Structure 1
Amino acid sequence: MVSLPDSPAPEVRATAPSPPSAASPPPSKGTAAGLVAVLAALTSVAPLATDMYVPGFPDMGDALGASSSAVQLTMTAFLAGLVVGQLLFGPLSDGLGRRRLLLGGTAGFVLFSLVCAVAPNVGVLIAARFLQGVAGAAGMVLARAVLTDRFHGADLPRYFAVLSQIMGVAPIAAPVLGGAILSVSTWRAVFAVLTVIGVLLLLAVLRKVPETLPPERRHGGGLAATFRAMGALLGRRAFMGYVLVLALVSAAMFAYIGGSSFVFENLHGVSSGMYSLVFAVNAVGMLIAGFLFSRLAGRVRLITLLVTGVGVAALGALAQTVLVLTAGETLAGTWITLFVTLCGVGLVFPSTMSIGQALARDTPGAASALLGGLQFLFGAVASPLVGVFGEDSSLPMALIMLVTVAAAGVALVALAQPWRGQGEPRR
């Protein structure tokens, strides 16, 4: 891989971060817990809105007179909205502040969830889903920016671990919750529930999330200067290295999400209930890794945890590929190797978020936009690839996961260069 040239602007080292300004003092322990709880809930909105309505796809197609491909396009539109929304809200918040954009985005999520619930045809639903994704992205991208504003040192990685664990749990809970709703009502009720969730989050933001970026710390020069600051981040080699590590490992996880049901249910013949158990156990692997990360952050260097995570994920993906090529398709082998891979993913997510935000502490909103936007962009591209390359073997899923994790390793070495120690919090 060709290394990007370093930008003329010096990269921000987080080994000795500046203390919070007097206008944004660190919160007390009780206040911090409430703030982090709300930010975690905001982070869960996207995976909930992504997966809750999936069990209702057949009924949705019948009700709207739409083809299966048109119904699936509602999912693609939402993911595209998440990418666009993060790239929009993140840099805007560096110039305008966090709170009003967070309130506006959450209110927009409520509105467009309601539009989805009453959509008369699939065209309106697709448009509403895109706008719902744009609005819902505000909670995800600004949650990371608010954490970066408020917390420093070893606290920041621990709280990023909480957000990463939520991202691991929400995709499991979403289809279960959606299935429960569909057992007593229609797919429209799923979006009605999302509307109610949005209202509750809006009230929580009003009560628990203060403005964390006072005017004196905002970027001047208007919107053009704000987006130029995000463009400048693209020239920071180390920062973009960590962004690519996160995006490529996310691609591996989305390939797993997109292909695992086919692999376990069609190839290995497990029931849908058994597949839910497999999915849940693998997600527990991510949670365990995230918990270990939160306990070790501050004692072990973040780059050590990151390199370990990439190595574990690569080991799992390689073992899966080798097993398929040698021993053939085995349920136990596939399950174990995927569990190992996702344990590695559980270490990579909070590590890259923490280091990336620390490297760009001067523009945390723009940094959060690039970290989250590319994460979902790469994931959206990787998710359908498993089906494209064939459905008679689990080898396509294994190879896609192996290639993306290996590419993350290349980005780590060639661009991030973790041995330089950039992005480490002060102990």
Structure 2
Amino acid sequence: MTDQPQTPAASKAAQKTHAKAASKAKTRLANAELPMPLWEFVSMVAALMALNAFAIDIMLPAMGTIGEYYALENPNSQQWLLYSYLLGFGAPQLVFGPLSDRFGRRNLLRLCIVFYGIFAVLCMATSSFALLLAVRFLQGIFAAGIRVIATSIVRDLTMGRAMASIMSLVMTIFMIIPIIAPAIGQGVMVLAGWRWTFGVLGVAAVLTFLWVSFRLPETLAVENQRELSFTRIKEGFSQVLSHRVTFGYMAASGVVFGSLFAFIAASEQIFDDVFGRGDKFALWFALIAGTLAIGNFTNSRIVEHYGMRRLSHGILIAFIVLALSNFLIMTFMGEMFWVFLPLFALTFGCFGMLGANFSALAMEPQGRVAGTASAVYGFFTSTIASGFGYAVSSQFNGKVAPILLGFVGLGLLSLVIILITERGKLFELGEGKAGY
């Protein structure tokens, strides 16, 4: 992009170019060679990614009960039900990426779903909190493979704005799970006890396995399979990590999504201990998660027109402003639930427009090593994010201010990373990538 002012004629020409690029992107999406109807493909990828969200969100209403069952001395220790899973979910993605680039997506995906379901069932049989955390860690390992392969499948078949549009649609459907999972968890607890909040995950694994087995072919072209050797793996990781845009957006995503994990880990405590409204936890969580779905759907409708950079940069700034406003109000005017809830819901909704765009921007240059790139991106947005998330949520002291202040800090750090990545320029369309 040039810094010199454009003439009216040049400005009109640029607008026509951008409109033409958006039109081509829509055409690519409409004509994408998907192995099934678009609606089914989006639903399947969403279901695969939702297995991860389901494993996190269904047991949120049970965290306090599980903590009491195992007589945990520190109430914040119950947060390890989330973080043990995320620890397992992080680094193994770096293994599943190269494996899927070598052996393909379909069979490895089915294997991961099977073990995800097995460890879900084993969570029901644990006799100690430490053993439950160990099994959750193992379940997270195979959930990592599911997540890596699901993203790789989308990149195998689409690219650029078409990929961002599909990922936004995927995330819109995917976000149904965080909306309904806590309510399902509460219902399961009433009918069958907290252990069956894990048993439901096994049922979901069986259904997803059957769907994939009957409807999903292999999506990795034979010519794109990579040799599984130390040299080739090193080359793949080097290609991903040395690309400024890919690395920058992975790092920025890992930082800002620490806020997401911080809230999820402390959500039950916030609504119960701070506001005394834990009896309707599923409702409040659904309202907040619903803004994520709205954000993702909105992004899917407008990203092809405005571009991924313009949207994600603007939304990141809005995220910081909203979190800061909520922090100042809660700190200096008192913790008022009906002020906190709408402001926080809007803040949380920003993740819906950040996730798909950051992911597409990071993955776009990595077509030939999509599995490896997906693995590294997943590592950054889970392991690094969970580390930042724990640093924030562990500061919970019965007040909501530490969580909100953590949101502001992580948002600002993410913005700094974006500024470095984009060499000080926000809202640009990218280097030689009209429309990105």
- Which secondary structure state, in structure 2, belongs to the residue aligned with residue 213 of structure 1? coil
Match of 1:44 among 50, 54, 60: 50
- Which secondary structure state, in structure 1, belongs to the residue aligned with residue 306 of structure 2? coil
> What amino acid is the match of 2:236?
A
What does 1:60-99 align with in structure 2 at a 5 Å threshold? Answer: 60=66, 73-99=80-106
Q: Deviations over 1:28-47 (max 9, x none)?
A: 6x533222211110101112
Aligned to 2:17: none
Cα deviation, residue 392, structure 1: 4.5
Q: 2:178·2:286 contact (CA, 8 Å) conserved in 1?
A: no
1:135 matched to 2:124? The reply is: no
Match of 2:217 among 210, 219, 224: 210
* TM-score for the superposition, normalised by structure 2: 0.84
Cα deviation, residue 213, structure 1: 0.8
Match of 1:34 among 26, 30, 40: 40
- C-alpha RMSD over aligned residues: 3.0
What is the total number of aligned residue pairs between the two structures? 407
Aligned to 1:307: 313
> Which stretch of the first structure deviates more once superposed, 185-194 or 416-425?
416-425
Aligned to 1:111: 118
Q: Which runs of 5+ in 2 are unaligned?
A: 1-20
Aligned to 2:10: none
What does 1:24-423 align with in structure 2 at a 5 Å threshold? Answer: 26-27=33-34, 30-57=36-63, 60=66, 73-220=80-227, 222=229, 224-273=231-280, 275-417=281-423, 419=428, 421-422=430-431
Q: Deviations over 1:103-124 (max 9, x none)?
A: 1111111222232233344444
Q: 1:309·1:346 contact (CA, 8 Å) conserved in 2?
A: no
Q: Deviations over 1:190-210 (max 9, x none)?
A: 332211211111111111221
Q: 1:220 and 1:425 mapped to 2: Cα distance?
A: 33
Q: 1:59 and 1:262 mapped to 2: Cα distance?
A: 12
> Which stretch of the first structure deviates more once superposed, 173-182 or 225-234?
225-234
Cα deviation, residue 229, structure 1: 0.9
> Which stretch of the first structure deviates more once superposed, 199-208 or 253-262?
253-262
Q: Deviations over 1:298-357 (max 9, x none)?
A: 211111111121121111112122323443333233223212212322111111111111
> What amino acid is the match of 2:223?
E
Q: Deviations over 1:241-300 (max 9, x none)?
A: 111221122112222323444444333333531x43332222222222211110112211
Structure 2 CA distance for partners of 1:31 and 1:151, relative to 1, 3 Å: same
Q: 1:269 and 1:363 mapped to 2: Cα distance?
A: 49
Structure 2 CA distance for partners of 1:50 and 1:74, relative to 1, 3 Å: same
Structure 2 CA distance for partners of 1:388 and 1:107, relative to 1, 3 Å: closer
* TM-score for the superposition, normalised by structure 1: 0.85
Q: 1:167 and 1:400 mapped to 2: Cα distance?
A: 26
> What amino acid is the match of 2:352?
G
> Which stretch of the first structure deviates more once superposed, 198-207 or 320-329?
320-329
Cα deviation, residue 83, structure 1: 0.7
Q: Which runs of 5+ in 1 are unaligned?
A: 1-13
Q: 2:59·2:197 contact (CA, 8 Å) conserved in 1?
A: yes
Q: 2:262·2:393 contact (CA, 8 Å) conserved in 1?
A: no
Q: Deviations over 1:155-198 (max 9, x none)?
A: 21111112333453323322211221121113332332211211
Q: 1:264·1:331 contact (CA, 8 Å) conserved in 2?
A: no
Q: Deviations over 1:26-77 (max 9, x none)?
A: 126x533222211110101112112323434465567678777876544332
Cα deviation, residue 225, structure 1: 1.5
